[in-house]
Each structure stands twice: as structure tokens, then as C-alpha cells.
Amino acid sequence: MRSSRRNFLARVAAYGGSGAVYTVMQTLGLLAPDLASARPVLGPEAGRGARVVVLGAGIAGLVTAYNLERAGFEVTVLEARDRVGGRNWSIRGGTKVQMNGEADQTATFADGLYFNAGPARIPSHHQGLIGYCRELGVALEVEVNSSRGAFIADSRDLSAPPIRLRRAVNDTRGHLSEMLAKAIDKGALDDQLSADDKAKLGPFLKAYGDLDADMKFKGTERSGLAVQPGAFDQFSQGLAPMPLGQLLANSMLPSILFEDNLDMQATMFQPVGGMDRIPYGFKRAIRSRIVQNAEVRSIRTEGDVVTVAWRDTQSGAMAAVKADYAVVTIPLVVLAKIETDFAPDVTAAIAGVVYDHSNKIAFTGPRFWERDQVYGGLSFAGGENGVVWYPSYGLHSESGLLVASYVSGDAAASAARRPLSEQMARARAVVERLHPGHGGDLANGVAVNWEKIPYNLGPWPNWRASGGDENGHNDAPAFRLLNQPHGRIYFSGAHLSQTPTWQEGAVNAAHRTIALLAQRVAA
């Protein structure tokens, strides 16, 4: 049915243009009047040869270019880096990492190892991005986002031993189930529960918390085993339950809810061979000109023409591109430093957006974590270290790449003020705490502080600091203003979506921009 619907819409586009397609899609309920983020269906002549310059070859810019050129637009892409992908960046052996105010680092990873310095997972409900992976032939594999064999480590009490996630989850559940069962038995919830509810809730709590016949929690094998089941009469024996007070004292206990977050629920994916397989898939498929090492210096509109001046970062030569429209996906904190003739309210909105902080530190080493029965997932250490992220690829091979620190927000800002050597030493110490005797096995460290990465200067906007909110509920005045066309300039990117920290946000923002442009040309 989906195929026949697409064929029908393509036929409408061929005869009536993109305006007709939009009317039909809205009539059929396939596109909301406010331009939903579904991929626009455009005929091959929808663009009518209109010239569009796309600034930035991150995911939003690549999605825009890929779709516009197929709809009959004449597209040029300018990218300041010597690669496509933007924040989608996979570091391999030989990759140079340049950060403002820091000495250059060159990765010395062995062949086959890679470090996804930016996005590293794709939720299964991010169907916009997954759809492009399917279309571009980018193979995906499961990313193990959560492992109950990993740990939580109290970030305040460094003397407290790390707790396996399975033990933290199931012992907490058992204690709370017993407490609720007691409350029900004493009639404390009679004003909330009917007799029928109470009769049904009791058996559920018994199963949920693995309570005994007296509705008491005396430990559960779900939390792990003190004795493994063996041959003949070697019976399994569960661990003694941890006291509830000890669990509650661990500052990282809320991390047991991590995989309940919608964007973190299984199944998660990653491209085979590195996240950058996605932007390079787009690059192979895009026929239009993509100019790399093209640092945008000015954006100006004169009459019906947008002129973008840029500098070749290799030769220093200046050049310019003229177009009918510009789609600007450059991070706002970088755009604020570029000479433009935008209206004063637009300029002020761009300059006022505060960007967040995020760091990642990776090492190579023998897969000692697998000997500790940790295969993928994250251990939660908190503080300036955040999480330790175990690789989901190359299982049981000799060596692997361990992300020893991934942290965002104020803790990342604090960590980034430390020398890189100290950042790495602190990350190594956290790994030593989680896996005693193995911190010294880590080698070939590479640190990425996104606030120091040229042409990014931060991972994503901190919209809360600009009067808005994050992920799903942002309505800051600057966000609303920059989501509208300004003359012949269209701003786009994950930073202008409701999911600024995800690649799906870039896809959604690009789709909306494509739809707005197509409507304008059709009109």
C-alpha cells in the first residue's frame, strides 16, 4: 500500500507540481497543515531549476541537498571541514583531532577500531534516519545500549564499591515491592484501592519483586548468583540482598532508570563500521557539488540573489556562490561569528543562543571488561566522568575501543577546563575503580571537548538557558523565530528541531525546510 501511495503521489507531482502534492497529502491526512516532519514527496520538476546553496554538510545539510537535487533544484553545498558529517564524526587511526586552545592529537588506533566522537546510537523509532540508511545501503547492527552486567559507582563516596546494575535494579525493586505489600496489608491504601485492586496487586508485587510466600524480600537470583548452577547437585544460590539504605545512599541509583527513557529503549542500532557511514552514504549519492574546506565568511542578500562568500582553508583563496535561496545549517554559535545582513532581531536571536558542553574520551585496550562479563552498555560513574561506554562491535576480539568518559552539561564544562592529560588520567582512574587492575591497560587515548571543536563550538544548544526547553517541548522565542524563513534565508538543523541532541532532529528539520522551499517555489 505504501508503494502504491508513493506512486500515486509521484504521478500527482508529475502532472500538478509540488503544490498539488501538498494539497492531496493534506486532504489524505498524510501531511499536517503545519508541515509535519515526514519526508516531503516532490516531483522531479518541483524545484524548477531554482538555485540553492546549502551551508554545512552535516546530516541536515546532506538530507536537504539529497532531496532538493532530486526535486529539480540546482544545489551547491559548502562545508568548512575536510569531511562531511558535522557532529557525526568517527575517529580512526591517523585521524587528526584539532581543538581550540589544545595541542593537536592524532589517533593511533589499530585497523578496524573506531571512536564515534559524536552520535553513537540510533533509537529504533528514529525512522527518518533509519529510512535513509536503508535507502543508501548503510548496513546497521544492534547497539547494546544497556547491560545489566555493567555498574553504578557512587560519584560522591569513592570508597563505596561499584554495584552491578542487575543487583541495583532488582534489589531496589524487591525492597520497594515489600514495602508496598506491607502498606496494602495494613490498609494504608484502602482509600486508593478497591478490594478487587488489592486482590490483584498482591500477586503482581510478589512476582514483580520476587517476594517470598510471606511477601518479604529475602533476595533474588535476578540480582546475580553467589553460586553458579553446576553439575549434579551444585545448586545455584543467589546473592544476599543489599540493604535498601545502602542502595539509596548511592548517588547514581537513579541511573537504573536510564533504559526506561524512550530514546534509550531497546532496540538501538549503529552503522556497521562507524557512524560516519551515514554521511558518506549521502556523499556518494549526492550528485551536486559539495565543496569541502570552504569556510563561510559572509552571507548577504541583494534583491533576489543570496551571495555567500567563502575562504578555501587550504589555499586561503576567496570565492563566492550566488543562489536564489540559502539553507543555513551552521551551528548558531558559529553562525553568530559570520558577517551577515540578517535583520537585527534575527541577528540578536542567533547571538543569544547558548550552547551546551559535552566531552568524550576513548582508549584502546585488551577486552578486560568482557572478562568481567560486560558486553556493551554503560557503567554510570557520574561527576565529571559521566558514563563508561563499552563497545558493541568486535565482541571477543583481542582488543577494543572503550569510551572511558562521556559527559555533558555543567560537569562537562568543568572537566573541559582541565588539561587533556588530567582529563584522561581521571577517566582512566574511573575505569580502574570499575575494573580493578585494568586502568593501566588503557592506551592511545583521545579526548574530544566539543566546545573546543572548530566549526561546532559545542555539541547542541542549551535551549533552557535561552528561555526554552529540551527534547520535545522547546518553544523559546529565538527557536520559534529562527524556524521561520527570513527573506531567502532558511535556517535548519538538529538545533532547530525538538530533538537537538539526535540525528533524527536533523532529518526532521531538513524535511520541514525542504517542504517550505518547495511550497515557495510552487507558489
Question: What is the spatial distance between Cα 97 and Cα 421, in angstroms, rounded to a whole number?
Answer: 15
Mean of pLDDT values over 205-227: 98
- Please report the pLDDT score of residue 465 as a whole number: 86
Confidence (pTM): 0.92
- Residue 271 falls in which region: left (phi positive, over 0), alpha (psi -120 to 50) or beta: beta
Q: What single string gives the DSSP state of each residue in 456-487?
A: TSSSSB-GGGGT--STT----HHHHHHTS-BT
Mean of pLDDT values over 484-498: 98
Q: Evaluate whether 76 touches 54 at the Cβ level (below 8 Å).
A: yes
Which residues contact residue 187 at a Cβ distance below 8 angstroms, ignoring those fewer than 6 apart? none
What is the percent of the chain where pLDDT is above 70?
Answer: 93
Asked if the model's pLDDT at residue 97 lies above 70, the reply is yes
- Please report the pLDDT score of residue 467 as a whole number: 78
Q: Which CATH topology does 2-85+284-353+466-522 take?
A: FAD/NAD(P)-binding domain (3.50.50)
What does the DSSP 8-state code read for residue 385?
A: T
- Please report the pLDDT score of residue 4 as a whole number: 61
Q: What angle do CA 69, 72, 77 make, to 5 degrees?
A: 30
Q: What angle do CA 186, 190, 194 make, to 5 degrees?
A: 125
Question: What is the spatial distance between Cα 487 and Cα 483, in angstroms, rounded to a whole number?
Answer: 13
Q: Which of 427, 426, 424, 405 is nearest to 358 (CA)?
A: 405
C-alpha cell at 359: 566531552
Average pLDDT, the chain: 94
Mean of pLDDT values over 93-108: 98
- Please report the pLDDT score of residue 26 as a whole number: 46
Greater model confidence, 15 or 303? 303
Residues of the chain with CATH 3.90.660.10: 90-127+144-151+356-452
Tens of pLDDT along 54-69? 999 999 999 999 999 9
**ω into residue 267 within 30 of 0, thus cis?**
yes
Residues linked to residue 307 through DSSP beta bridges, in sequence order: 300, 322
Tens of pLDDT along 398-454? 999 999 999 999 999 999 999 999 999 999 999 999 999 999 999 999 999 999 999
Asked if the model's pLDDT at residue 256 lies above 70, the reply is yes
- Grid cell 592524532 is found at 106
Asked if the model's pLDDT at residue 273 lies above 50, the reply is yes
Asked if the model's pLDDT at residue 367 lies above 60, the reply is yes
Residues of the chain with CATH 1.20.1440.240: 161-249
Mean of pLDDT values over 118-134: 98
Residues of the chain with CATH 3.50.50.60: 2-85+284-353+466-522
Q: Evaluate whether 35 touches 60 at the Cβ level (below 8 Å).
A: no
The domain 90-127+144-151+356-452 is classified under which CATH number: 3.50.50.60, 3.90.660.10, 1.20.1090.10, 2.60.40.1120?
3.90.660.10
- Please report the pLDDT score of residue 9 as a whole number: 56
- Please report the pLDDT score of residue 7 as a whole number: 58
Strand residue runs (E) in 384-441: 386-389, 399-408
- Please report the pLDDT score of residue 214 as a whole number: 98
Question: What is the spatial distance between Cα 486 and Cα 481, in angstroms, rounded to a whole number?
Answer: 9
Tens of pLDDT along 9-51? 555 544 444 444 444 554 454 444 344 468 999 999 999 999 9
Looking at the domain that runs over 161-249, which CATH code has it been given?
1.20.1440.240
Q: Tally the residues of the chain.
A: 523
Q: Evaluate whether 334 touches 296 at the Cβ level (below 8 Å).
A: no
Tens of pLDDT along 134-193? 999 999 999 999 999 999 999 999 999 999 999 999 999 999 999 999 999 999 999 999
What does the DSSP 8-state code read for residue 160?
A: S
Burial class (CB in 10 A: 0-12, 13-18, 19+), 374: buried
Question: What is the spatial distance between Cα 404 and Cα 383, in angstroms, rounded to a whole number?
Answer: 13
- Residue 222 falls in which region: left (phi positive, over 0), alpha (psi -120 to 50) or beta: alpha
